[in-house]
Structure 1
Amino acid sequence: MGSTTQAKQTVVSHQDYDFDLRFIDILSFIPPNKTLKQFVEKFGTKGIKLTKRIFPHGSFNYDNYKQVLGLTTPFTKDDFYDKLNNKNINRVDANRVGISDEDYEQYNKDSTNFQDKWAYLKHYNIRDVTCMINPINHLIQITWEEKVDMLACISLAQIASQIIYKYCYDKFDINASYNIVNGFEQFEVTQYWWNNKVKGYINQDE
């Protein structure tokens, strides 16, 4: 599904059609030092925030998920402990130990609106993706207007580079003459020039 050198994506093919569907993780378009929250704030409609709730995925497994999710009682605070990573789930700060009382209180309020944990899981999954639809559509619209292929440029840096080159090409006149004549037919490397070149690199490294 992906690695540090290959974008995470799923390709779906059908034997009756001559095209494929590619599902690409939006994280492929987000720089490593940025978060989903920042992506939503940057590309989403003003005022839209990443309102993702919390869910204790590690509180059940393949053998008991039907039994656990069928219960009408809310998850306990201990259920939010991530046994796989040996840490507690925290919506505000993933590095902070323990789910906050505020987060758990908010979960308890939300859970009263649902018949069972299945219904809450459905609600959680919908919220998980709904807030991402607007910024993703905005990014797609930008690339469409600029005639940039997102499937060929799987990163914001590549998209930005393509747009820059596009603007440069728009001003290019195929019938114009771009021969630069400066009166110098050749360039001679002198010791003085080389010393200044090296000095410039030294200053740059400092």
Structure 2
Amino acid sequence: MFTIADRIAESNRYEDENIPYNAKVVNAIGWNSSNFDNAFIIPYQISEELAVTSVLGKLNHAKQIMVSHNIKHIILRFVDRIHYVFPQTFDSFVKDFGDGSEEKGAFPHEAINSSNYEEVLTQTTPFPHTAFHSSLKGINTLIETQYNEYVDDEQKFNNRWDYFKYYNEQDTVIMIKPIRNQIILFARFKIDMIHSVSAASNAAAAKFVSCYFPSLFTGYPPYPDFDIHADYFISKY
């Protein structure tokens, strides 16, 4: 993970060397990772080479976790994307901030378990439509047209294992555009969205920016923007 982080750090450098850039810190962004993924990842980030140097919040629900590599001198900053938006599902986040092209696909989660996964996933035929029935919801989660789309997708792979890997990778892939769109949105208001750790922090930053640069916001009174070169401290006497 830190080998990849090293490459990312170098590729993220600005072409203009005068722009400040901290090459030592690389963001690792997840969705609901503070409640789930981190429990499986963070325990393995403690060794002779690695150390958890900072935790913002409780470890089982942290807004930010910093893990440093003592040899490469790189810091992985684990943040949870769910803290940057109002309460919503993953599908809603992708729909609200994406461009409509992001699709994860479908997989019958109840069709496999710890006992049968090898036998089931090595098969080369698509899952039957009945496999998508949800015992929790009491319905089949795919209508006929959706199932046909799944069959078309699965047939592009050698077996169910390969499709399953693709399906899991889509969790990451379909987050890229929505996150990038949010970063661009806040950049319009001179805010580095990823620098903060929550939607509340970004909202507070936007409030202060609106005071100094009202022209960036629509519907605000036509007050002049703050001029950093003006002398606002001339004595009135």
SS of equivalent residue, structure 2 residue 140 = coil
Give matches, 1:90-169, under 5 Å. 97-99=139-141, 100-144=143-187, 146-148=190-192, 150-155=194-199, 157-169=200-212
Q: Which is richer in strand? A: 2
Task: Using structure 1 for the length normalisation, give the TM-score.
Answer: 0.61
- The alpha-carbon deviation at position 22 of structure 1 amounts to 2.0
Contact 2:130–2:140 under 8 Å retained in 1: no
Counterpart code for 2:115: D
Task: Using structure 2 for the length normalisation, give the TM-score.
Answer: 0.55
Query: Residues of 1 paired with 2:159 and 2:131: CA distance?
Result: 16
Q: Which moved more, 1:140-149 or 1:58-67?
A: 140-149
Where does the alignment leave 5 or more consecutive residues of structure 2 unmatched? 1-32, 36-57, 214-225
- How far does the alpha carbon of each residue in 1:79-111 deviate from its partner, in whole angstroms, 9 at most, with x for none? 22345xx235xxxxxxxx322223222222222
Q: In the alignment, does 2:86 pair up with 1:44?
A: no
Contact 1:8–1:24 under 8 Å retained in 2: yes
Computed over aligned residues only, the root mean square deviation of the Cα atoms, in angstroms, reads: 3.4
Where does the alignment leave 5 or more consecutive residues of structure 1 unmatched? 89-96, 178-206
Q: In the alignment, does 2:118 pair up with 1:66?
A: yes
Counterpart code for 1:137: R
Flag the structure with larger Rg. 1
Q: Decide whether aligned partners of structure 1 residues 12 and 141 sit closer, same or farther in structure 2, where only a CA change above 3 A counts.
A: farther
- How far does the alpha carbon of each residue in 1:109-132 deviate from its partner, in whole angstroms, 9 at most, with x for none? 222222110121133234333232
Q: Decide whether aligned partners of structure 1 residues 25 and 153 sit closer, same or farther in structure 2, where only a CA change above 3 A counts.
A: closer
Q: What is the total number of aligned residue pairs between the two structures?
A: 164
- How far does the alpha carbon of each residue in 1:140-189 deviate from its partner, in whole angstroms, 9 at most, with x for none? 3444562435243322x431320220232452778537xxxxxxxxxxxx
